[in-house]
A = this chain, B = another copy of it.
Amino acid sequence: MSLVVVGSMAFDAIETPFGKSDRIIGGAGTYIAWCASNFTPVKQISVVGGDFPQSELDELANRKVSLEGVQIKKDEKTFFWSGRYHMDMNTRDTLDTQLNVLENFQPVVPDSYQDCEFLMLGNLVPAVQRSVIEQLKTRPKLIVMDTMNFWMEIAMDELKKTISMVDVLMVNDSEARQLSGDFSLVRAAATIMKMGPKYLIIKKGEHGALLFYEDKVFFAPALPLEDVFDPTGAGDTFAGGFIGHIARTKDISFENMKTAIIVGSAMASFCVEKFGTARLREINKADISARLDEFVQLVNFDINLV
């Protein structure tokens, strides 16, 4: 039984108030794989061009990320995204998007991935996400989907079709408002859960994340940091920590999802400390454990005093 991850592997060029990166490794699938592989082996589905470095693929393979589902199109170019963040780091401008290999990406699920127990659909074309669900002969125990406003604008019907097939949906606060048509996040959550997902996670960046389930809600804070150096990939890393913890513990209860959100938040807090995936490449189990302790301290209060 295994965790299957679908998502882009890409080149990014990033500008923040703290500096500017060259063309560096990025993509939702990349961040998810680097993060989730701290907790469990990963079976990756993605596509790259001939320009994608073999060394990056080797490093992922060394972390028990299976690459059998990653197509390498030798004569094409890898997906490229360039963006600029402003001081508040909550908004960004896209400077350039070159779809390249993503334009006609048709994912193929290898036979060896058919034991998929947990499926993480990283942000990608909704029809591509759905194609992976449909290729799996046995429905996974838990399907988690990340998406973004871009698909709401150009492919809302396709998006809703995919959303109707998943167990957990992740969006940010403005996307929850856009998808539901309601400003109140509590009412937005109720509306979105009627579209199919039993669980909804609303990411609020530096303001933490909310998990909705039936009439219950759980809140995980973001760690207050001196500087958010580069927010790129924080949402993907959050997703990787969430599904990584779930896949490691094989427990899909609401109680365990709360812990998984804390793990996702802790992993995202590393991600933003350096450009791109740099920080995720450095951390080890001891770092993760210490950061999780910080989260416990951050929210833990003595309920007996109330």
Contact = CB atoms under 8 A, between A and B. Distances in A.
A218 B292 contact: no
Contacts of A301: 218, 220, 255, 258-259, 261-262
Kindly state the interface size class of chain A when it binds its partner.
35 or more
Q: How many identical chains are in the complex? A: 2
Interface string A219-230: 111001111000
Nearest to A204: B207
A290 to B, nearest CB: 12
B218 A298 contact: yes
A298 B219 contact: yes
A296 B303 contact: yes
A226 B186 contact: yes
A183 interface: yes
A5 to B, nearest CB: 22
A204 B219 CA distance: 15
Interface in A250-306: 251, 255-256, 258-259, 261-263, 292, 296-303, 305-306
Given A204-B207, A219-B298, A292-B306, A186 B224 contact: yes
A120 to B, nearest CB: 19
Interface in A142-191: 183-187
A185 B219 contact: no
A217 interface: yes
A216 interface: yes
A121 to B, nearest CB: 24
Interface of A: 87, 183-187, 204, 207-208, 210, 216-221, 224-227, 249, 251, 255-256, 258-259, 261-263, 292, 296-303, 305-306
